[in-house]
Structure 1
C-alpha cells in the first residue's frame, strides 16, 4: 500500500514538473517573440514594406537632418557637397562627420549605420538600393511626403518611434508662428515683401510656395507683391530673373539672401536699377548672409527664418 501511494505521488510530481517546464518554455517563447516585436517596426515606404529597428542609434538620412534635429536626434553622418553642409544646423551638428550627398557605399559602410533613410527614390544614386539594404535597413520616403516638411517630420516620428516628440514640436512651432505673425502685422501691416536669392551673378525670385516663401506668405501672412502672385507655384526648373525686371516686383520690403562675396551683390550695388527701387531707397532691404535656412524646407529652418524676419521687420 505504501509503495502504491509512493509511486502515485511520484507520478503526480513528475507530471507537475513537466507541465511547469512546458509552461516556462511557452512563456520563454512568447517573451522572445514579444521582445523581437518591440525591437522592430514594420512600415510601408516608397519601395513597399520595410522592417526597421524600433530604436536606431546610428542613422544616416542625407538632407533630412532638419527632421532628425527637430526630434532631438544626432545622425551618424551629415549631408555634404564638398565642404558645404547645412550651415543653419551646425550648432547641433558641428562635430558630426560629413558624408557625400550621393552616399558612396564605402562611406556608408565606414559610418556603420543601423538605419539608412532616403528622401525619395530618386535620391538613391546608381540604382544601389539593394546594396544599401545589405548594409542596414533602408527606408525610402515617398516624394509627396518628403516635399511637405510637416508630413516629413510626422513620418520621421513614425520611423523613430517619436510620435509624442513630433506632436510637441509641431505644437511649439504653431505657437511660435502665432506670436511672430502678430508682431509682423503690427510692424508692417499690409506692406508687401519679396525674397531675392543671389547666387554667383544670378538673381532668383522666390515664388509664393518655394522654400522660405512658405514661411513669409503662408505662416506669417505677409502680403505678396502682385508680381509674385502672377508667377504661380514653383516650377521644377527655377530660372533666374533679369536685373532689368526687378522694378516690376514692386515689393515694399526685400529679403536679400546670399553668401557674402557673391558677384551678384556687387552688380546690385553698382546698378542704378537696383538703387532706384523703393525698398532700397527706404532702407527696407535686409541682407541674410546665410542662405541655408532660406533655401530648404524644414521645421528648424522655418524657425530660424521666422526669427530673422521678425528681427528685420520690427527693429
Structure 2
C-alpha cells in the first residue's frame, strides 16, 4: 500500500511538471508570435515582408529621412563623385553606390532591405530583380516628394513611427522659434533665394524646397518679383539675367558653389548691381548649395538655421 501511494504521488508530480512545461512552451510560442521578426506592409508594388529591424539598408536619395530616424545606410546615393554634401558629416566612411542601384553593386552591399522613392526610380532592373536580392519597398509615386510624408512613411517602414512624430514635432518647434527671431530682426522686409548653376539662375518660389517653409510656414515676406512669377511648374525653369534686374527683395540669398560662373556674371553685371539688395549690400553668397536644393527634414533645418544666422547678426 505504501509503495502504491508513493508511485501515484510520483506520477501526479510528473504530470503536474509536464503540464507546467507545456504551459511554458505555449507562453513562449505566444511571445515569439507577438515579437515577430518580420512585418508585411502594403506599398506601390503590392505587399512586401520586411525584417522588423533591418541593419543593412539601401535607400538612394532617401538618406535624409533615414539619418533623421537614427539609421545609417549601408551605401549612399551618388552620381559619379557627387553625393549629398550636407549629409557627409553623418555619412563619413559610407561607400557610394550608383543613383540607379546597379544590380551588381546592390548585390555587393548585401542589403537586408532596399527602399526606392517611387516606381519610376527602378531604372536599372525590375522590381523582381531587387526583390530577389532583399525585401524591397517602393514608395507610391509622389509620396516621397512631400518630405513630411516621406519621413512619416519611413517611420512606418522601419517601425519607428514614434520617432518620426518626434522629429516632426521638434522641427515645428524650430520653425516657431526661427519665425520669432526673424520677425524681431527684419520685420516685414522681403527675402529672395536664387540658385545659380553654370550660367543659369533659378528663383525659389513658394513651392521650392526650404523656401516653401520660409514663405508659407514662417511668414517670411516674399518680394513682389516672386508674386509676379508664372504659375510654378514641375520643371524648374531658369530666369534670364535681364529679368533678375527687376528683383525688388530687401535681402537676397545667392546660392552656388564657389567658382560657379553665375556668381561671376552677377558680380560683373550692372543690371544686377543696381538691384535694391545689391545696392544695400544685402546679398549673401551661400557656397553650400546641397541642403538648399533638396527636400528633407535635416536639409530644411539647416536652411532655416543659415537664414536665421545670417539675418539676425
Report if TM-score (shorter chain) is over 0.5: yes
Out of 70, 93, 96, which is 2:94 matched to? 96
Deviation at 1:291, TM superposition (A): 0.8
* 1:1-315 map, 5 Å: 23=23, 26-35=26-35, 37=36, 39-231=37-229, 234-315=232-313
Instruction: Say if 2:246 and 2:275, in contact at 8 Å, map to a contact too.
Output: no
2-structure distance, mates of 1:51, 1:226: 51
1-structure distance, mates of 2:260, 2:147: 29
Pair 1:99–1:269, CA change in 2 (3 A): same
Give the secondary-structure state (helix, strand or coil) at the position aligned to 1:41: strand
State which drifts further: 304-313 or 155-164.
155-164
State which drifts further: 54-63 or 21-30.
21-30
1-structure distance, mates of 2:215, 2:272: 23
2-structure distance, mates of 1:114, 1:256: 41
Q: Which runs of 5+ in 1 are unaligned?
A: none
> Normalized per residue, which structure has more helix?
1
Instruction: Say if 1:173 and 1:303, in contact at 8 Å, map to a contact too.
Output: yes
Q: Which runs of 5+ in 2 are unaligned?
A: none
> For residues 261-306 of structure 1, what are the alpha-carbon distances to aligned partners after superposition, in whole Å with 9 as ceiling and x for unaligned?
1111111111111111111110111111011000001111011101
Pair 1:233–1:85, CA change in 2 (3 A): farther
Deviation at 1:228, TM superposition (A): 1.4
Deviation at 1:175, TM superposition (A): 1.4
State which drifts further: 52-61 or 5-14.
5-14
Give the secondary-structure state (helix, strand or coil) at the position aligned to 2:222: coil
Give the secondary-structure state (helix, strand or coil) at the position aligned to 2:143: helix
> Aligned residue pairs: how many?
313
Instruction: Say if 1:208 and 1:229, in contact at 8 Å, map to a contact too.
Output: no
Instruction: Say if 1:199 and 1:258, in contact at 8 Å, map to a contact too.
Output: yes
> For residues 111-132 of structure 1, what are the alpha-carbon distances to aligned partners after superposition, in whole Å with 9 as ceiling and x for unaligned?
1111111111111114421111
Give the secondary-structure state (helix, strand or coil) at the position aligned to 1:50: strand
2-structure distance, mates of 1:123, 1:149: 17
Deviation at 1:26, TM superposition (A): 4.0
Deviation at 1:5, TM superposition (A): 7.0
Pair 1:292–1:17, CA change in 2 (3 A): same
Give the secondary-structure state (helix, strand or coil) at the position aligned to 2:179: helix
Cα RMSD of the aligned pairs, angstroms, is: 2.2
1-structure distance, mates of 2:302, 2:23: 58
* TM value normalised by structure 1: 0.91
Instruction: Say if 1:208 and 1:233, in contact at 8 Å, map to a contact too.
Output: no
